[in-house]
Structure 1
Amino acid sequence: MTTLGSINYDEAIHFHNDSDSKTETGILTVSKEDLAKTEFPEWAPTWDIKHDHAFENIEPFKHIDRGNFADPTFKSLKINDDVKFKRVTPNLGLEIDGLQLSELTDKQKDDLALLVSKHGVIAFRNQDFKHQSFDKIKEWGKYFGPLHIHPTSGAPLNHPEFHLVYRRGSENEQKKFFKDKLHNIGWHSDVTYENQPPGLTLFAMLQNSESGGDTQFINMFEAYDRLSPFMKEKIDDLKVLHTSKDQAYFAKLTGGIERKDPSDNIHPLVRYHPVLKRKCLYINKSFSRRILGLKTEESDNLLLFLLNHIESCLDAHVRMTWDSNTVVVWDNRTVIHTPTTDWDSSDIRHAFRVTSIGERPIGSQEEYDNWTPELEKENIKKTNYYTNLSPAEYYDEVIANEN
């Protein structure tokens, strides 16, 4: 694709050979100067050379969404008058105070899964989550599904299941972001290049400046619903190629590692949420590359239209603010997000993500009901074949047969 502009890869997750360092045991990590200013050094990002290409994606599996077992009244989460719920906007975003995520029962976690899906993103204030052990946090995340291992980001030593965001303390950090671009906004849904991308995602702040660095979200249900019936009909069955190759290239370019081989996967442009029974747009500038069956200019222009439409939906948008005890949980299937680089101090900004793998993206209830791991393994084998078909060949072999 050539018309979509520059692609933003968040430098806060990758190793930088020009400023970071290597320990005596050969572990890549941040500089000694930054480490000295890090309040939670056990969470310092590392890139272990022995993990380079040491992992593979898990085999296809039938995901069990815990939201299917929830009580839609959410009584278990409203345990007393000290628990405060506050809507951020009517259709997206919720803030909760007085409820500790680390202490939730399994029943409460089920209700949490549905609550997150309904509101898209929830900020939990005054949390003790970051003070829990690595193992306890991983067990918490595994309740919702197997944990995702990011192919290129920093992780605490010996705990690759965590993804770390770490803004270095250099006074030139912000200047570097804007050296050759006008902004650092990069709307995306996490790792959509995986065959089964994340579902429920938890992001916990470890260390933050007094203000700034908000995370912004857009509701992809709303972005789809606003399209005309005619446009919905035309795009409902389209498929999009997602890839991690550019992200992997950037990580290697700056001296980092690849825990897994780069991956290409084909996903529906319009995704169906099997719990809420709703459709949403499922594309992002970071990883979506082209629509199968269309010629280059056709694909570029349709993606450009849809991405511009999504990113202009600031009336289907929330901006979540952070402090050092905030945890935000979102449904990675139905919202996109971006960091906000709006501070000019030399403060360290440090956070971790733990995310469970969800279902294979599907376009309808029928597709969800008929999906099996065995069929998926066969479909994966055809990915390269389908992506290499010309538009005419793809139409004859896929689209015409579906119709």
Structure 2
Amino acid sequence: MAPPNAESLAQGKLDLKQLAREKGRYLVYPETKYPELAEFEHVDPGHRADPKKASLYDNAEIIFDLTPQIGTEIHGLQLNRLTDRQKDDLALLVAERGVVFFRKQDINVHEAIELGKHYGPLHIHNTFGHPKGLPEIHVVYFDTKTPKQFFNYRSAGNGWHSDVSYEKQPPGLTVLKIDLLPAVGGDTMWNSQYTAYDRLSPQMKKFVEGLEAVHTGQMQVDEANKAGHAVRRETHETVHPVVRTHPVTKWKALYVQPGFTKRIVGFTRRESDAILNFLYNHIESGHDFQVRFKWEEDSVAVWDNRVTSHNAIFDYLDVGSRHGFRVTPQAEKPYFDANSKSKHEDDLEKAQQGK
């Protein structure tokens, strides 16, 4: 059963791209409070997918990988016209490749909401503003008027995160459309947490498996309180495994990132910081399992928040504006299966079997 966390859509159709052009910051911050997110059983659409993903490969103009470990681009398909079979096959492709990119997409915000519902209950952010009548939409908007204080005391490496990982059932497949861009800049990076796990030494893998970490959204709550905005739910902290298993691929993935991971359970502060700082540096410097996407207007990224982290590059705040919107379906509660395999192990076994 889906959690009771959605409001009705606005009767009128909103053009967020036009709103951003005309008004810049158009978000509303209603005082609406929500009940705590109810637990629900998540059945991933990737379980229904064709292993060959023929509905995508037979109908796209071209599909190609951007790096060996992460990132695939699809041309010739419109996300607002996918069949249910194609949506399921996309879930599997995204689970395997981490992030899949589409360019020249017609999909509007209302169609994106309907697409997102195929993959799980839509998350409503605990503190951020949203377009009027569309609480399920997370808007990305920064421009030359954006206050620079927040960026003055952080490095670009601090930006790696997996969206709202502090929720009990964080997002799975996630959709982001960028429809306005500065003349130059505004790229986004993703990394494969499958390969981040694989690149650890055998001893480090054994050490981190079974550990748990606290994920917190306290910083966002503090920012909302400072700005006088509502905090919609009380819970904004939870514990997740440091290594999690993807329910469809059955591959192990590292599940920590500097954005929301606070500490390792059962360790002193210094011990926890030492472990997390090592893992953060491992993620940040893992250029062999990262992809950097150069957006064009009306491009869409579809990624799996369970097995990737991402990092928006704020190199354009003196240049121009960047706008887009995200739809964020929730997935299962993160878990670790000791019998699951790493992606590398599974790839080797399949190669030996001639698959």
How does the TM-score come out when normalised to structure 2?
0.85
Against the structure 1 CA distance between its residues 105 and 113, is the aligned structure 2 distance closer, same or farther, given a 3 Å change threshold?
same
Partner of 2:304: 331
Q: 1:255 to 1:100 in 2, by over 3 A?
A: same
Question: Equivalents in 2 of 1:114, 1:41: separation in Å?
Answer: 38
Deviation string 1:224-261 (CA, Å, 9 cap, x unpaired) is: 11112111112111111111122210222133332222
Q: CA deviation at 1:44?
A: 3.1
Match of 1:89 in 2: 67
1:165 equivalent in alignment to 2:140: yes
**Aligned pair 1:227/2:200, yes or no?**
yes
Partner Cα distance (2:104, 2:255) in 1: 32
Looking at structure 2, the residues matched to 284 and 180 of structure 1 have their Cα atoms a distance apart, in angstroms, of 18
Aligned to 1:194: 167
CA distance in 1: counterparts of 2:65 and 2:336, whole angstroms: 29
Residues 47-84 of structure 1 deviation map (CA, whole Å, 9 limit, x = unaligned) = 123x2xx113431111101101111211111244x621
SS of the residue corresponding to residue 276 of structure 1 reads coil
Q: CA deviation at 1:180?
A: 4.2
Question: How many Å separate the matches in 2 of 1:184 and 1:232?
Answer: 23
Aligned partner of 1:99 in structure 2 is 77
1:156 aligns with 2:131: yes
Residue 137, structure 1, aligned to residue 135, structure 2? no
SS in 1 for 2:21: coil
Show the counterpart of 2:34.
Answer: 55
How far has the Cα of 1:97 moved from its partner? 1.2
- The one of 189, 192, 208 aligned to 1:216: 189
CA 1:90–1:163 in structure 2 vs 1: closer, same or farther (change >3 Å)?
A: same
Q: Work out the percentage of aligned pairs sharing the same amino acid.
A: 42
Summarize the Cα distance change of 1:178–1:108 in structure 2 as closer, same or farther, 3 Å threshold.
closer
Any gaps of 5 or more consecutive residues in structure 2?
1-16, 341-355
Residues in 1 aligned to 2:152 and 2:25: alpha-carbon distance in whole angstroms: 29
Cα deviation for residue 207 of structure 1 reads: 1.5
- Structure 2 residue identity aligned to 1:320: F
Distance 1:271 1:339 in 2: 24
Q: CA–CA distance in 2 between the matches of 1:178 and 1:94? A: 30
Q: CA deviation at 1:174?
A: 7.8
Counterpart of 2:333 in structure 1 is 360
Q: Give the CA deviation at 1:204.
A: 0.6
State the TM-score, normalized to the length of structure 1: 0.75
* CA–CA distance in structure 2, aligned partners of residues 276 and 293 of structure 1: 30
- Relative to structure 1, the CA distance from residue 41 to residue 96 in structure 2 (aligned partners, 3 Å threshold; closer, same or farther) is farther
Give distance in 1, aligned partners of 2:152 and 2:164: 26
Q: Which residue of 2 aligns with 1:295?
A: 268
Point out the more displaced range, 328-337 or 290-299.
290-299
Query: What is the letter of the counterpart of residue 293 of structure 2?
Result: M
Equivalent runs, 1:222-371 vs 2, <5 Å: 222-364=195-337
1:245/1:262 contact within 8 Å kept:
no
* CA distance in structure 2 between the partners assigned to 1:37 and 1:76 by the alignment: 35
Pair 1:235–1:36, CA change in 2 (3 A)? closer
Distance 1:115 1:338 in 2: 21
Shift of 1:39: 2.8
State the partner residue of 1:72.
Answer: 51
Q: How many residues align?
A: 324
Unaligned runs of 5+ in 1: 1-34, 368-403
Give the Cα separation in 2 of the matches to 1:307 and 1:147: 29
CA distance in 1 between counterparts of 2:332 and 2:200 reads: 25
Alignment-mate amino acid for residue 279 of structure 1: K
Conserved? CA contact 2:25–2:141, under 8 Å: no
1:44 equivalent in structure 2: 26
* Partner SS, residue 338 of structure 1: strand
